[in-house]
Amino acid sequence: MLAIGLGAAAVAGAALMAAPGHAEKAVPVPAPAVDVPAAKGRAVAVLAGGCFWGMEAVFEQVKGVVDVTSGYAGGDAGTANYGAVSTERTRHAEAIRIVYDPSVVSYGRLLQLYFSVAHDPTQLNRQGPDSGPSYRSAIFPQSKQQAAVAQRYLAQLGKANLYGKPIVTRIESGKFYPAEAQHQDFARRNPRHPYIVRWDAPKVAALKAAYPRLVRG
């Protein structure tokens, strides 16, 4: 996200509200042709798609999602902090860790929402107003099955050409590290923050409009 503190919100608000956004409407992507089989217990998905505030805000609305944590993935533990990641030299991406119930929502369904409403997978090393490799579009599979499903889904969406531009999402490996406490549940705690209002609230609205049956009551 832009380096905007709550105290600077009034100063930056006008510029953010005037900027063009993405994801006010869902992209009608199909569900994956192949999915990870449902299993008992809990499963984990790690996804990166720009500022983790908005990614977290979207997925915490989804039925079957037990917990969402904002954090960093792709780099080392020593640089897994906002100050270091903001230098764009750590290899980290801002990411979220989703704990979910596979009997309620599948990994493939999470990927469908990721590509449909959570972010724009055609933006290379950026997302909306944020630029740099930490804002890249990347999937971090947590198992061989997830990796296979993600690879096939990328191929499926590429052939469908639903965006009019190439998908730049990468499949990567690397550990996930939770972000600082101030970044957790940021959108829910700060719904009037200009960045949330302009860039992230529209994503949540798009989710609810396009996938009402998948949204928790």
- pLDDT tens by residue, 5-63: 433 333 333 333 333 334 468 999 999 999 999 999 999 999 999 999 999 999 999 99
Q: Are 58 and 118 in contact, with CB atoms under 8 Å apart?
A: yes
Supply the residues annotated as catalytic: 51
Task: Please check whether residue 67 lies inside any domain of the structure.
Answer: yes
Structure tokens at 42: 């809990």
- Structural domain includes residue 211: no
Residue 121 forms part of a structural domain: yes
Q: Assess contact for 88 and 134: CB atoms under 8 A.
A: yes
Does the residue 123 lie in any domain?
Answer: yes
Is there a domain that residue 147 lies in? Answer: yes
Residue 73's domain comprises 40-205
Residue 24 confidence (pLDDT): 67
Residues 6+ apart with CB under 8 A from 58: 113, 117, 118, 200, 203, 204, 207
Q: Are 79 and 143 in contact (CB under 8 A)?
A: no
Indicate whether 157 belongs to any domain: yes
Total count of domains within the chain = 1
Per-position DSSP letters for 65-105, written without gaps between them: EEEEEEEEESS-GGG-SHHHHTTT-S--EEEEEEEE-TTTS
pLDDT tens per residue, the chain (217 residues)? 544 443 333 333 333 333 333 446 899 999 999 999 999 999 999 999 999 999 999 999 999 999 999 999 999 999 999 999 999 999 999 999 999 999 999 999 999 999 999 999 999 999 999 999 999 999 999 999 999 999 999 999 999 999 999 999 999 999 999 999 999 999 999 999 999 999 999 999 999 999 999 999 8
- Within a domain: 7: no
Q: Where are the alpha helices (DSSP H) in the chain?
A: 9-18, 52-59, 82-85, 107-113, 144-160, 186-189, 194-195, 201-210
CATH of the domain at 63: 3.30.1060.10
Please report the pLDDT score of residue 217 as a whole number. Answer: 83
Q: Is residue 197 part of a domain?
A: yes
